[in-house]
Amino acid sequence: MNMVRWLAQGPAARYGIACDSCDDQVCVAPAKESSLVKVTFRRVRLKKIFPLRISRGVSAGSENLFAFVEQDGLVGVGELSGTNVPGGENCDTGLAELGELVASGLAGLSVHEVYARGREMGVRPRALAALDVALWDLLAKQAGLPLYRMLGLPLPTVPTSVTIGIETPEVVRERVPIILRTSGAKHLKIKLGSPEGLDADQAMFEMVREVAAPFGVSLRVDANGGWDLAGATMMCRYLADCGVDYVEQPLPQGTEADLAPLFADRPLPIYVDESCNYASDVPALADRVDGVNLKLMKCGGVTEALRIVAAARAHGLGTMIGCMGETNVAISAGAALGALFDHIDLDSQLNLANDPTVGAPLLDGVVVPTEDPGHGARFADADA
């Protein structure tokens, strides 16, 4: 297996770029610079079973970056997920930014302090999530506890949604039964906001209702910001009449002012996703939404996820956790927090054709953390 080894010489260190044939890259920080004996990275190209189309485009797979933090024989693992991410974040930027963060000297810093250092240095959220999740995994392994127990949480009981992307009615007729039959899911999340307009959204939704009915699942809708105010107002009424549980991100990020009139006359709960990245975003949303959807890849990991939940609860808002193409690694970290959420969307691992990791299993519709120390996920071909 091809590898590139980078030796960190301090904050000013610069790192080379691996050739395209390299699957793994390694960054080693000197012991005197950091209490983390070794930080290594592994790149994996993933393919989806079913390409996922949302209002902004389609994804058939991704290249994910895994961070391994090793100390005294224990290894914590975290994950950066994404290709074609808004803002250009990818494995290359993640390697560069995390290399600078490790080289800055992390000796004696807590997980929260490492997260704060990363934010101060401009490390983008998906990269920061890889290191943050790895550190929490390592910390729980050092404590000899599953991460959920170390955080003082019970096991989650809320079933996850599984997702159907924007498709034609013909594809929906074939695909939805496969998704529901193979997953045993209790909830189906339907991506709407089709570039072809509201008629296309309604035609797809009606087919989903028809073919999902024998499975007895509840229906949720995520527009990924694909509607304007007039369209969202009409669709919310239509979806409420159809018995939908809630609608997520009905309006584009950046048009949060329009959430106020939509919320004032809402016929069903409104959650936001793209409009909420950090805990600091919550107060401005509190008077115009029913809840917020956090994702480890959006906020930078477990550390900020805990803050978002606290902020949401302090403002009387509902909570949801979602995912963005992660493997069992980040999904298991999210599952460790599962008891904190009213709604759960941890299903991306179910749509991967080549997930190299194993972790939290799906039991009767619930993504349940294992009792292994840490978040419980690992690479199937390694001890890490």
Model confidence at 50, pLDDT cuts 50, 70, 90, reads very high
Handedness of CA 214, 217, 220, 221 (dihedral sign): negative
Which pLDDT score, from 0 to 100, does residue 382 have?
Answer: 67
Instruction: Calculate the average pLDDT of the chain.
Output: 90
Q: Encoding tokens for residue 362?
A: 């799906």
Q: What is the mean pLDDT of residues 222-243?
A: 98
Are 38 and 28 spatial neighbours (Cβ–Cβ below 8 Å)?
A: yes
Are 146 and 336 spatial neighbours (Cβ–Cβ below 8 Å)?
A: yes
H helix runs in the chain, sequence order: 91-103, 111-120, 125-143, 147-150, 169-183, 198-212, 229-241, 259-264, 282-285, 296-299, 302-314, 328-336
Which pLDDT score, from 0 to 100, does residue 340 have?
Answer: 98
- Tens of pLDDT, residue by residue over 108-147, are 899 999 999 999 999 999 999 999 999 999 999 999 999 9
What is the rounded (10 degree) CA torsion for 52, 53, 58, 60?
20
Q: 3-144: which CATH topology? A: Enolase-like; domain 1 (3.30.390)
Distance CA 59, CA 383 (A): 30
Model confidence at 57, pLDDT cuts 50, 70, 90, reads confident
Distance CA 79, CA 329 (A): 7
CATH for the stretch 149-379: 3.20.20.120
Distance CA 86, CA 224 (A): 13
The DSSP bridge pattern shows strands 187-191 and 161-164 to be parallel
Q: Is 173 helix (H, G, I), strand (E, B) or coil?
A: helix
Q: Encoding tokens for residue 84?
A: 């074609």
The DSSP bridge pattern shows strands 357-358 and 378-379 to be antiparallel
Model confidence at 84, pLDDT cuts 50, 70, 90, reads low
Res. 37: pLDDT tops 90 = no
Q: Return the residue matching tokens 């941890």.
A: 346
Same topology, domains 3-144 and 149-379? Answer is: no
Are 253 and 225 spatial neighbours (Cβ–Cβ below 8 Å)?
A: yes
Q: What percent of the chain has pLDDT over 70?
A: 89
- Tens of pLDDT, residue by residue over 269-325, are 999 999 999 999 999 999 999 999 999 999 999 999 999 999 999 999 999 999 999
Instruction: Decide which of 8 and 231 is more confident.
Output: 231
Residue ranges of the domains in the chain? 3-144, 149-379
Which residue from 341, 292, 348, 352 is spatially nearest to 148, judged by alpha carbons? 341
Which pLDDT score, from 0 to 100, does residue 43 have?
Answer: 96
Q: What is the mean pLDDT of residues 320-334?
A: 97
